[in-house]
């Protein structure tokens, strides 16, 4: 399934305004912390790289975190570096029932090329660790309630 493709300029416009989309940066935590688009952005890695072997491991919690944070009709834009992981993420989200997914295939390099605003902001609510912690806490509370 092909997803709507957005240019960096279209994404920049979509992240602001009355009903902003959320840019889901599916790069690793390390890649994300080196800089990312400014706006309504969260880091939910699709995969992790082994620090020495560079082996790729899928992030088993990817869907869980997205589903915990966003309703199925939320406007989400998947982005990474080369577009490949963004496409895979969009595919995964579509299979999970998400209906409003776009992809920015130019990724962060394309964003930089257009000289759009960037940030290294990685505080709670943006960083993957904080989002994952939030989901795990909720899961713990749900279990405790039953």
Q: Domains (ranges, CATH) in the chain? A: 4-131 (3.40.250.10)
pLDDT tens digits along 13-37: 999 878 899 999 999 999 999 999 9
Secondary structure of residue 28 in the 3-state scheme: coil
pLDDT tens digits along 80-110: 997 799 999 999 999 999 999 999 999 999 9
- Inter-residue contact 107 to 82 (CB < 8 Å): yes
- The whole-model pTM stands at 0.93
Secondary structure of residue 91 in the 3-state scheme: helix
How many CB atoms neighbour CB 112 within 10 A? Answer: 14
Residues in Cβ contact with 136 at an 8 Å cutoff, skipping those fewer than 6 apart? none
How many CB atoms neighbour CB 15 within 10 A? Answer: 20
């Amino acid at each position: 399934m092909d997803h709507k493709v957005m240019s960096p300029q279209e994404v920049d416009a979509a992240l602001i305004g009355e009903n902003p989309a959320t840019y889901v940066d599916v790069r690793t935590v390390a890649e994300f912390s080196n800089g990312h688009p400014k706006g309504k952005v969260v880091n939910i890695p699709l995969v992790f790289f082994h620090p020495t072997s560079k082996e790729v491991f899928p992030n088993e919690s990817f869907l869980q975190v997205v589903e915990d944070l966003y309703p199925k009709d939320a406007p989400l834009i998947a982005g990474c570096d080369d577009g490949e992981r963004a496409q895979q993420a969009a595919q995964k989200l579509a299979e999970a029932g998400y209906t409003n997914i776009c992809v920015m295939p130019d990724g962060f390099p394309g964003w930089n090329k257009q000289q759009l605003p960037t940030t290294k902001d990685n505080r709670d609510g943006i960083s993957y660790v904080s989002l994952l912690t939030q989901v795990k806490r909720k899961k713990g509370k749900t279990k405790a309630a039953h």
